[in-house]
A and B are shown apart, each in its own frame.
Chain A
Amino acid sequence: MSHSELYVEIDRSAYTNALSKSSPITKTFFALSALIICVSVQTFIVPVVVFIICTILILGLAKVRARLYFNLFVYPTYMLALSCIFLALFFGSGANLIEISLPWFTWSIFKSGLIMSITTFLRVEGALSCLFFLVLTTSITDLCVLLRRIHMPQVMVELSMMIYRYIFVFLEISEQMSLAQTLRLRRSGWLNRIRALSMLIGSLFIRTLDQGERTLAAMNARGYDGDIRILEDFASPKKLVLLGIVIFDVLLVILLFLTLNIGVI
């Protein structure tokens, strides 16, 4: 699945999942608190627990399609695995685990490097699951409303919404123009390809700008005063659920201290 399709899918899921109607405050609070606890530790048990719980919540409670959820992991995990192998092979200090004598130098793999690599891998996977919980269950519009509630400057919220909209305009127009160029034989020859690409990007920029100016004119005509008002019809957070999340966080922190001395190897 290409990237542009993937985030259209994320957007769709954010509006259609089973938790889409519940309070964004609860969801954001859960995701961010779990994320911060997960990232703050150097052990590996807490991230694994966070990963399992987030996965259960996403697939079981929010009823997001499992295929989409695991698809999201493919690319980050691939990059992460490469990086962690690199960390394990070249980093660390102290006691050697393996020593390989090559003709020109001795290459040693350190125990601390290996531990660092494994904990980093698990930490990132745990953190990613928290992030995916947030985006798969909460729409960007809800998040923008939330930002306004916490008194983020109005101009930033407005700019966020415009940038979000423009990303889709940008992609749509570039798709149309690319198709039009293909129909006009842009791929005939190397020089034509370069020329076509430069024309595409240049006119994409100007066309999107024009579209944006027209949008602003239309908004001004409808009494736009720098504030995009949305009907904020989301549910207020349930106190019981919030309490549950606090208890969960406290349990995680306790688990963190209990497992502080358990090593990976």
Chain B
Amino acid sequence: MHIMEGFLPSPWWQIWWAISLPIVIYGVYKVAKLTKKMPEIKPLLALVGAFVFVISALKLPSVTGSSSHPTGTGFSAILFGPAITSAISVIVLTFQALLLAHGGITTLGANIFSMGIVGPAIGFAIWWVFKKTRLNPSIGVFVAVTVADLMTYVTTAVQLGLAFPTDGSVFASFVTFFSIYAITQIPLAIAEGLLAVLLFSFLSKYKGSILQKLGVLKIPLTTTKNEVNSQNAV
């Protein structure tokens, strides 16, 4: 979904930058607060960043001036919440723009808005609702991550539709862009949801204490006391 460097014409890239910036600043403030409270969380933050980097670099070409790939930010939103995810995604998207020519500096604002703000916020809201119910957390993780991924692409399609209207109609253009995305993105979103469930169960099995500390899981986990060193886990 990363829109390429220079692909958005002039008023739009400035507008998306202006919208994303305040939210990112709030995210940075939250990161500073969290790391002050729990310095031991830093490796996990960085790891989630690297995870998002690697997973969203697995891309399929799409004819929409961007590409189709899993986003990874839904999982990050479940762990840390949407504000911190937006701050992480700024770093990740900048590295991708610089190291992979995947996305760009001028389109960074638009990309942060879709992948770092809208997707995670909606994913987190779904996860929050599921947490209130007594369903298996795996279902919540799956739905939240899949929807977060799809909503990211809806947002990108809106951004492209606004910048490149067909016959003066933004909506028609949005439908065109989204229907192209949908072909590749719906299977990818489901795959990402399954992967997230797997990772979540792995983390709660071997690193349950961290999830509890982050407030992701409230129920005391029976498996926590069996936490093992990764050397044995592999």
Contacts and interface: CB of A to CB of B under 8 A. Distances in A.
Contact of B31 (A40, A134, A156, A208): A156
Contacts of B65: 79-80, 83, 87, 120
A32 B105 CA distance: 9
A163 B50 contact: yes
B39 A208 contact: no
Contact of A166 (B46, B62, B64): B46
B112 to A, nearest CB: 14
Contact of A82 (B63, B92, B206): B63
B65 to A, nearest CB: 4
Contact of A7 (B49, B99, B199): B99
A93 B190 CA distance: 37
Nearest to B98: A135
Contact of A155 (B13, B32, B176, B202): B32
Interface in B76-134: 87-88, 90-92, 94-95, 97-101, 104-106
Interface stretch (A16-24, A57-65, A169-177, A232-240): A169-177
A76 interface: yes
Determine the main DSSP class of B at the interface with A: helix
Given A134-B98, A226-B39, A153 B47 contact: no
Nearest to B228: A206
Nearest to A180: B234
A132 to B, nearest CB: 7
Contact of A124 (B7, B13, B61, B97): B7
B47 A167 contact: no
Interface stretch (A98-106, A209-217, A246-254, A257-265): A209-217
Contacts of B106: 35-36, 39, 127
Closest 9 CB pairs of A and B: A212-B43, A127-B6, A166-B50, A162-B46, A202-B202, A163-B49, A83-B65, A86-B63, A124-B6
Interface of A: 3, 6-7, 10-11, 32, 35-36, 38-42, 47, 72, 75-76, 78-80, 82-83, 85-87, 90-93, 116, 120, 123-124, 126-128, 131-132, 134-135, 140, 143, 153, 155-156, 158-160, 162-167, 169-171, 177, 198, 201-203, 205-210, 212-213, 215-216, 226
28 contacts: A3-B100, A6-B100, A35-B106, A39-B5, A39-B13, A39-B106, A76-B4, A76-B101, A78-B61, A79-B66, A80-B4, A82-B63, A86-B64, A91-B164, A91-B173, A92-B166, A93-B166, A127-B6, A127-B106, A140-B95, A140-B98, A156-B87, A163-B49, A202-B202, A203-B230, A206-B233, A209-B207, A212-B42
